[in-house]
């Protein structure tokens, strides 16, 4: 009597019961769930005609567009595995991922074709979306040859891989995270439940869909009959225009996206209630406070690609919402408690015993449950390193408050050890974000002859700000123990970030550590 847990069940529901409702707004193009279903069935038939079989990998290199949304449904509909490609990689990374995944077909947006054009001789079958390039088959022309009549779902094993999501590869070659139908269904339900997405909601895809499947929004919004509004490129003015034009009620983004929205000249208090999910880095309380003052309700969630990608959520009880915004923002910046279907989450010492819930003792976040990946594709050693003793080890260091809320203090690799003292880069960054003239900040450890490492801040100033490094150091010393305050500050035009908004600290560290035999002193 059981049916497999799969996000495709959400699509089946929407295609049947919401067929007359608006599904997608993709620029000037709009379509209902009924017409979108026909489109997906055309893509599915085209894939089968191209020789794609169950278990084959199909790669997609596209920004947030209607055709990219198609891929999340059509590819698994024929039993194949989707490989969403980061749109900001180097050609060598694409060569590695396409070879490592064994992709049989690549669908690429015409604007991104130059990224993989140097590989043309070694590429598998290629379809080009939203235009033509190099005489390759055009996506729309391919679909036009096939029927949109309904196709039954294939026999699905809920523990089979549905998507193969490659990590950023900041310290080594990208790893392929195998996420199953069951993983992704649990995440999609958590997304809909915690972000409170329902029938009538309008969801703006500010988050790259390639980034862990848009955090699950590509399926969750469909399951409840919501409207997908696409955004090919993150731009503050465009975000605000679409919010107002389409009465957007839900969106997601890293703290960097919130920062872009805050500093856009089009920023203004919203008329409709909007809930925004944020993750990717611990959000500074000052950014949460500013977004709430614009009328947004911020939901902070935490996870990694390997957990589909979320395991915790920072929730407030309704009776606590009367508290001052600044107080709410500080608590909302914590990572929170386990999500509804994520399973068990603990913070443990090296001996795997749980830390005290005193808001002080530091331990590693570990978890087990419905959202933990199947493993790293073709990499048993890396899999065994993080999946051990029955738990997934995140590498994130955190404390647990007396109210059970988890709060990350740093990545294991981002802790700065200066003179034997552990310094959280996140704690220092939170202070920097309090300064009214600082727009963005990142903190790293750099070599120091006396202390082993010392704290360096790299900051981006707001327009027309007039600060020098000494001003910034003095400001930090007003809020931090002096050993935690930066000893040097670089003022830069921008911080290097991944497509999902994470600061690439390895790039910031490299000039200071390249002569060292180790990345710690």
User: What number of CA atoms fall less than 13 Å from residue 81's CA on the CB side?
Assistant: 25
| pLDDT reported for residue 500 | 64
Per-residue pLDDT tens listing for the chain (521 residues): 889 999 999 999 999 999 999 999 999 999 999 999 999 999 999 999 999 999 999 999 999 999 999 999 999 999 999 999 999 888 888 999 999 999 999 999 999 999 999 999 999 999 999 999 999 999 999 999 999 999 998 899 999 999 999 986 544 578 999 999 999 999 999 999 999 999 999 999 999 999 999 999 999 999 999 999 999 999 999 999 999 999 999 999 988 899 899 999 999 999 999 999 998 776 788 888 899 999 999 999 999 999 999 999 998 778 877 888 777 777 788 899 999 999 999 999 999 999 999 999 999 999 999 999 999 999 999 999 999 999 999 999 899 999 999 998 877 777 787 866 668 888 899 899 999 999 999 999 998 877 778 999 999 999 889 899 999 999 999 988 788 899 999 999 999 987 667 788 889 988 988 776 444 44
Where are the alpha helices (H) located in 247-405, listed in sequence order? Answer: 255-262, 285-293, 325-332, 380-386
| pLDDT reported for residue 514 | 79
- Count the Cβ atoms, other than its own, within 10 Å of residue 86: 21
- Count the Cβ atoms, other than its own, within 10 Å of residue 399: 21
Q: What's this model's pTM, rounded to 2 decimal places? A: 0.85
Q: What is the DSSP letter of 215?
A: G
Nearest alpha carbon to residue 306 among 408, 185, 387: 387
Residue 292 and residue 179: Cα distance in Å, rounded?
34
User: Which class for 269: exposed (0-12), middle (13-18), buried (19 or more C-beta within 10 A)?
Assistant: exposed
| pLDDT reported for residue 318 | 81
Q: What is the DSSP letter of 264?
A: S
- Count the Cβ atoms, other than its own, within 10 Å of residue 464: 6
Residue 70 and residue 75: Cα distance in Å, rounded?
8
| pLDDT reported for residue 255 | 86
Nearest alpha carbon to residue 372 among 356, 358, 397, 391: 391
- Count the Cβ atoms, other than its own, within 10 Å of residue 378: 13
Contact 188, 203 (CB under 8 A): no
| pLDDT reported for residue 171 | 45
Q: What is the DSSP letter of 354?
A: B
Backbone φ, ψ for residue 465 (5° rounding): -70, 145
Q: Angle 207-215-115 (CA atoms, 0-180°, nearest 5)?
A: 55
Residue 71 and residue 80: Cα distance in Å, rounded?
11
Q: What is the DSSP string of 123-161?
A: --EEEEESS--TTPPBHHHHHTTS--S--PPPP--TTSE
Report the DSSP pairing between strands 363-368 and 296-302.
Answer: unpaired
- Helix and strand numbers (H, E) in the chain are 16, 26
Residue 408 and residue 398: Cα distance in Å, rounded?
4
| pLDDT reported for residue 170 | 43
What are the tokens at 349? 């010492």
Q: Which positions ≥6 away from 275 have C-beta within 8 Å?
A: 195, 196, 249, 250, 296, 297, 298, 299
Backbone φ, ψ for residue 251 (5° rounding): -160, 170
Residue with tokens 């801040």: 457
| pLDDT reported for residue 513 | 83
| pLDDT reported for residue 160 | 98
| Three-state SS at 51 | coil
- Count the Cβ atoms, other than its own, within 10 Å of residue 478: 9
| pLDDT reported for residue 333 | 82
| Three-state SS at 476 | helix
- CA 164 vs. chain centroid, Å, equals 15
In the chain, the domains with their CATH numbers are: 1-227 (3.40.50.12780), 234-371 (3.40.50.12780), 415-513 (3.30.300.30)
What are the tokens at 7? 């996000």
| pLDDT reported for residue 327 | 78
């Amino acid at each position: 009597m059981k049916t497999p847990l799969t996000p495709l069940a959400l699509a089946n529901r929407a295609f049947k019961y919401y067929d007359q409702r608006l599904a997608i707004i993709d620029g000037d193009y709009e379509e209902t769930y009924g017409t979108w279903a026909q489109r997906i069935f055309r893509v599915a038939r085209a894939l089968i005609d191209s020789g794609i079989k169950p278990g084959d990998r199909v790669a997609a290199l596209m920004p947030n567009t209607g055709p990219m949304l198609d891929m999340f449904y059509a590819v698994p509909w024929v039993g194949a595995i989707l490989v969403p490609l980061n749109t900001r990689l180097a050609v060598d990374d694409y060569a590695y991922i396409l070879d490592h995944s064994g992709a049989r077909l690549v669908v690429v947006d015409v604007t991104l074709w130059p990224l993989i054009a140097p590989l043309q001789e070694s590429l598998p079958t290629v379809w080009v979306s939203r235009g033509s390039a190099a005489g390759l088959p055009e996506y729309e022309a391919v679909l036009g040859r096939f029927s949109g009549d309904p196709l039954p779902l294939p026999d699905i094993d809920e523990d089979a891989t549905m998507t193969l999501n490659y990590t950023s590869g900041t310290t080594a070659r990208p790893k392929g995270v195998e996420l199953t139908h069951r993983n992704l269904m649990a995440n999609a339900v958590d997304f809909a439940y915690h972000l409170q997405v329902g029938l009538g909601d309008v969801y703006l895809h500010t988050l790259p869909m390639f980034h862990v499947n848009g955090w699950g929004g590509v399926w969750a919004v469909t399951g409840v009959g919501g409207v997908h509004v696409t955004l090919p490129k993150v731009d503050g003015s465009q975000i605000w225009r679409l919010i107002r034009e389409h009465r957007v009620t839900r969106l997601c983004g890293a703290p960097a996206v919130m920062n872009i929205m805050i500093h856009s000249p089009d920023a203004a208090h919203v008329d409709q209630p909007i809930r925004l999910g944020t993750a990717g880095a611990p959000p500074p309380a000052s950014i949460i406070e500013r977004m709430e003052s614009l009328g947004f309700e911020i939901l902070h969630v935490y996870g990694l690609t390997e957990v589909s990608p979320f395991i915790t959520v920072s929730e407030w009880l309704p009776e606590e919402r009367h508290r001052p915004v600044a107080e709410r923002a500080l608590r909302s910046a914590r990572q929170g408690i386990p999500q509804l279907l994520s399973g068990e989450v603990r913070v443990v010492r090296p001996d795997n015993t749980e830390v005290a819930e005193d808001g002080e003792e530091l331990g590693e976040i570990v978890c087990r449950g419905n959202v933990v990946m199947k493993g790293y594709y073709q990499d048993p050693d890396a899999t065994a390193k993080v999946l051990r003793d029955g738990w997934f080890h995140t590498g994130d260091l955190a404390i647990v408050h007396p109210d059970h809320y988890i709060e990350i203090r740093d990545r294991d690799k981002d802790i700065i050890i200066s003179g034997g003292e552990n310094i959280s880069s996140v704690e220092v960054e939170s202070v920097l974000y309090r300064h009214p003239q600082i727009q963005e900040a990142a903190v790293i450890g750099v070599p120091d002859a006396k202390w082993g490492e010392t704290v360096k801040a790299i900051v981006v100033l707001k327009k027309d700000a007039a600060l020098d490094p000494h001003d910034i150091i003095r400001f930090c010393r007003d809020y931090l123990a002096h050993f935690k305050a930066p000893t040097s500050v670089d003022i830069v035009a921008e911080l290097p970030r991944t497509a999902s908004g994470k600061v690439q600290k390895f790039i910031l560290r490299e000039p200071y550590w390249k002569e060292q035999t180790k990345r710690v002193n």
